[in-house]
Structure 1
Amino acid sequence: MVLGYEEILSCLTTKPFSYEKAFKVSDSLTLETLRELDSWRAAAHHNQGPSSSPSATLSMIDNYLPLLENLVLKTEANEKQAQEKKLAFEWSSLDSSRRCFTLTSLQQERAMTLLLKAATMQHQAMQAVGADAGWTASTDAASAVQAIEMLKRSAGVFAFLASEALPALLETLTPERPCELAPAMAEAMECIALAQAQGVAAARAAERQGSDNLLAALHKGAWSLYRKASKTLKENVQHLNCVPPRLTIYLALASALHQATTCRQPPAGDGIYLALASALHQATTCRYLAQEAHEQKECGLALAWLSQAKQYVGSAQDAASQLPAWSRAMQDVLSEIENLSIKYDKENNVVYFQLIPKELPMLPEERVIVSPIKYEPVCLHQNLFAEF
């Protein structure tokens, strides 16, 4: 169960750039390598985007990055040859108020390329489970395993950016910079990738008939990761040029839907995207708690959890209307909750005659079962840029 988010991938575009023209060299081998850099960069960005093949894009990025890493090391070792004042990489951003930002160093270009790599891996994972068009609640085992691993690898790249690559750039950046180059944005995106992986894992656990309490704990884990992402953005807003509105709404929606699903099983078990993702997991958490309560013949408590789930979904419906796929996701979850409510209400009126409690028990402890796969930069150690 995961809500897709393609915004960052569709926004990360760049204009053509020529290393051959930027670095005037006479050595034939160095010149050939610069041309190879140009070729892989152009290929990666020509094939990039939500409508492209993510595996093909990743292959091109993985050919480009090692060459770029080698060039970064060479120019860092010989500052006089860096010629960074002549570099001008133009990138678009989630900050829709500007069309492009000009970046003036190889390290900044590397960071944006790593962001593109991580976002493409997220997109590939969403395609594997059919969530690239919105919210998915089921998938086959092989696709789920593939998606979870890809999302954990994506989280690892974001973690590398947040802890190593981006903090080292802070002193070189001007106030006019993409919000993606703030460490806090990468940290938030790491949490989102992990929350998505957690959501897929929860869906697989449901298909394997895991207990309601386990499913509630898993969805609460996803919800907590979305909340952490939202908190990270709020606490670091001064370091960001902007917090993209759709990202805030996504986090809230996905979180709320997972929490509502948790409550769905009788106690069982803020950007646009953040709002929606949060809402989805909150609602799903409550739904599972309702189902567990019903199994324990606590029909009144089950109805209370479902009522709470509906509140989470209702709080995010306006935000969800901004994108049809998100709106459909909210409606699907709400329909499941309402169908259970009708069923349990009939049983309560005929069999149990239980009052609906005004206060709910505490939610189960969250259970996070995913973690990032560490990203290790690949650098070709051959003397590729002999002239530097």
Structure 2
Amino acid sequence: MLGATLILAGLLPLFGEAPAHRAVDPSAFERWFEAARQGQLQIPAEVEREATRYRYVFVAGFWNERMPTYFTQNAQELRALGVPRDAIHFVYPSSHKSIEENADAVRGQFLEIAEAGPEPLVVIAHSRGACEALAFALENPEFVRTRILALFLVQGPFGGTGVADYVAGEGPSMDRRIPLRYRAIATLLDRLEKTKLKRGKHGGLADLTHQASENFWEQILEKHLSAIPIVGPKTFYVTSETSPSHLRLFKRATAWYLQTFSGPNDGVVALEDQSLPVLGTVLAVLDAGHSDLTNRGPSTRAPRRLRRALIQGIVMAVGSSEARPLTDAHAARVGAPFDDLPQVQRTR
């Protein structure tokens, strides 16, 4: 069970020290992001130079096959800061397979990217891609220790999503608290998604129910306990919530559903489900929809400056002196924050 996993993981630092890592102060990240969003962030030349020392790996999320502009503007922002085109890489896990079914392909792509050069990797993973990236990290801790500088996990459904529950027939039914217009749209989306599932498409959606997610992370954390002190200090969550009125029509409908039954959300994932409470650091809770930080076009009405701000915040995080080295003991504590076990249990 997860409780036993946490107790054992809390003992791990006694048996070995995690290597030194670079910490990122959440308040500094939020300050950088907000300044960048307003077009007021001045990135020092030394930070830009530091940023060019790394390779950047974008890992796309669910439905990436239908999003041709996924990470396009994010990559353009990196290039504008001087990062060479050949130091920017993309991983597109299949939406039709589970995280476990994608594992070999994701691992193969990371190994191939690592072979392109000795530079440390900065991973920027979004939505279910964030889950794929963290699962890879836990299953390959030596790779993380020697090759990955940081994992920035953006709006990942680590606790699952009520949208998947609803499609799977495991979530609560619509009621009058949701405006009629959005009940109708959500019902239409549900029928379309179930049709795709019958045709063998979007098989990975089953991974994203709350129960399936809880089972998956409980098992992988218990299996890879020794990886937690290595992966935890390098893991940073970027979470978000927004008003349904800020979203386009389809996500506005799912946002209303989630707001009614799960609370604050980004239109696809409830805020409380966008991180794992047992490892890593939550950098920020941003005002952004689920596609706003990583996509442009029909999926979002958000301006480009949000995608620019995400990248500039990350560049400051990996290149700024404020992203300070941690001692080994502190790194181990960040990787295994298990002092108060009752608080790590999710409630819904």
TM value normalised by structure 1: 0.22
Query: Greater share of strand residues, 1 or 2?
Result: 2
Query: Greater share of helix residues, 1 or 2?
Result: 1
TM value normalised by structure 2: 0.24
Structure with bigger RCO (C-alpha 8 Å, 6+ apart): 2
